[in-house]
Amino acid sequence: MFRFSIFLKSLFLISLLVLSSACAVVPKNLDSNEQDDGEYFARQVLSVVPDIYGSSFYANRALDEVDSDGLYRARFAPGDTLQIRIGGMSEYDGLYQVTSEGELDLPFGQSLKVSKHTRKTLRESIEDELVRLNWFHRETVRVDLSVVSLAPISVSVYGAVFNAGRVSINQRPALKAEEQIERASGAFSVDRNLASAIMAAGGVRPDADLSRIFIVRDNRVLTVSLASLIHGSGYVKMPTLIDGDQVMVFSTGTINTSLIRPTEITPPGLRVFMSNLTAPALSNAQSAVGADSTRLPYGSSLLDAAISANCIGGTHQANASRSIVMVTRNFGGKKQLVVRRSINQLLANSSNSLVNPYLIPNDGVACYDSRFTNFRDVARGIGEVISPILLGRLL
């Protein structure tokens, strides 16, 4: 009996130590790179200028302003399907596809280099070739050319975008041959333009300088401004891109919160990784943290993520002191930053973006329970250990 009493006392002391350690909700020292003091957090912009060619590339060239012929007229690319009719030579009428080398293989003469041609200039080139072959006189040659379908093109997007790199735009589902023939000529594509390329690269970041977007083409630098697209102050004619273009989105070096909202060149939404695996929910499924709740509109804050992850609510005394941790990155950086906020902090400062920061794509969010909940669950676990021992002693 005496030994059992000593055992119970020892077990009680151990239980007190475990319960006291249960009060620690999250680690005190978080890896925030000294950007968060527990009250205020602001992301930094680490990459300002995309140095793809070196700054001298831009400094040594006079930047061309908007070139209506070069930027707003569609050019042909490998994979485009054309319909050609030659007056007086109906046997050559049919569908032709631009080869991977950017050439058009006609059943006469040499292959024509059509890449970067417009419809008008290509038709004139075919007529010139027919005249060169002495098949027609200049005054009698007549070629009709129409576009059946436009193929995807590859461009590169660098700078202040979320996913810089090479992207493919104007993707189309494969069509059967007969379906393609039945399509009307004069195909129009809304996905071969600058906005589509920027969106394929994840959209512009909040630090993007929309007045300094450069398109590098044929060793030329063409400048475009999309500022009025965001502010809605005027109509923006969207430049058309060609295969091999490079888009440079420069950064202002500072964050503009007016860009943190869905637009034509910013993400419509973002994917957030959420975890709510502690009480009051024992699984993400029970906590209703599914695919829909982890997809939030662009411009959502940490408080929005807390609500979506069901970190807020329940018994007030038991859950009011819950906290939430956000794992994020600086713009242009790879190092992860960890920021913690209590639910009460977020509720009291919901309109302060330094206390309640905006989320960016691929952020992570995790909920931590209150001290009361931790204490209760640990005590419950100790009780589950002690109860069988006491029961066995009584029996």
Question: What type of residue sits at position 300?
Answer: S
116 inside domain: yes
Question: pLDDT tens digit string along 308-348?
Answer: 888 877 666 555 678 888 999 999 888 999 999 888 889 89
Is beta strand 323-329 parallel, antiparallel or unpaired with respect to 273-275?
unpaired
- For residue 395, what are the domain limits? 1-24+371-395
348 and 280 within one domain: yes
Output the furthest CA–CA distance in the chain (Å, rounded).
121
Flag whether 259 is in a domain: no
237 and 248 share one domain:
yes
Please state whether the peptide bond connecting residue 262 to the residue before it is cis, i.e. omega within 30 degrees of 0.
no
Local confidence band at 131 (pLDDT 50, 70, 90 cut-offs): confident
Structure tokens at 53: 């060619």
| DSSP string for 16-81 | HHHHHHTT--S-SS---TT-B-SS-B---B---S--SS-HHHHHTSPPB---HHHHSS----TT-E
- Residues pairing with 157 in the sheet: 165, 247
> Is there a domain that residue 261 lies in?
no
d(CA 45, CA 52): 18
Q: Do strands 153-159 and 143-149 pair parallel, antiparallel, or not at all (unpaired)?
A: unpaired
Tell me phi and psi for residue 314, to 5 degrees.
85, -160
* Cβ-proximal residues to 278 (8 Å cutoff; 6+ apart), any chain: 367, 368, 369, 373
Q: Are residues 64 and 213 in the same domain?
A: yes
In a domain? residue 263: no
Q: Is 133 part of a structural domain of the chain?
A: yes
Question: Considering the domain boundaries, does residue 218 fall inside one?
Answer: yes
The predicted model gives 60-89 an average pLDDT of 70
pLDDT tens, position by position, 11-64: 555 555 554 554 444 566 778 888 888 889 989 988 766 555 555 555 544 444
Residue 169 pLDDT > 60, yes or no?
A: yes
Q: How many domains, the chain? A: 4
Read off the CATH number of the domain in which 218 is found: 3.10.560.10
Residue 239 has pLDDT above 70, yes or no: yes
Identify which of 303, 305, 304, 313 has the alpha carbon closest to the alpha carbon of residue 281: 313
Question: Token digits for 197?
Answer: 């390329």
What is the rounded CA–CA span in Å between residue 249 and residue 214?
7
Assigned token pair, 201: 């690269």
Average pLDDT of the chain, as a whole number: 76
CB 159 within 8 A of CB 50: yes
Asked if the model's pLDDT at residue 105 lies above 70, the reply is: yes
Identify the band that residue 170 occupies on the pLDDT scale cut at 50, 70 and 90. confident
Per-residue confidence (pLDDT) for residue 178, from 0 to 100? 47
Residue 262 lies inside a defined structural domain of this protein:
no
Model confidence pLDDT, tens digit, residues 205-229: 999 999 888 888 877 788 888 888 7
Q: Supply the pLDDT for residue 60.
A: 45
Top pLDDT among 16 and 247 is at 247
Looking at residue 99, which CATH number applies to its domain?
Answer: 3.30.1950.10
Q: What is the CA radius of gyration of the chain?
A: 32
Closest to 363 (Cα-Cα) out of 317, 301, 292: 301
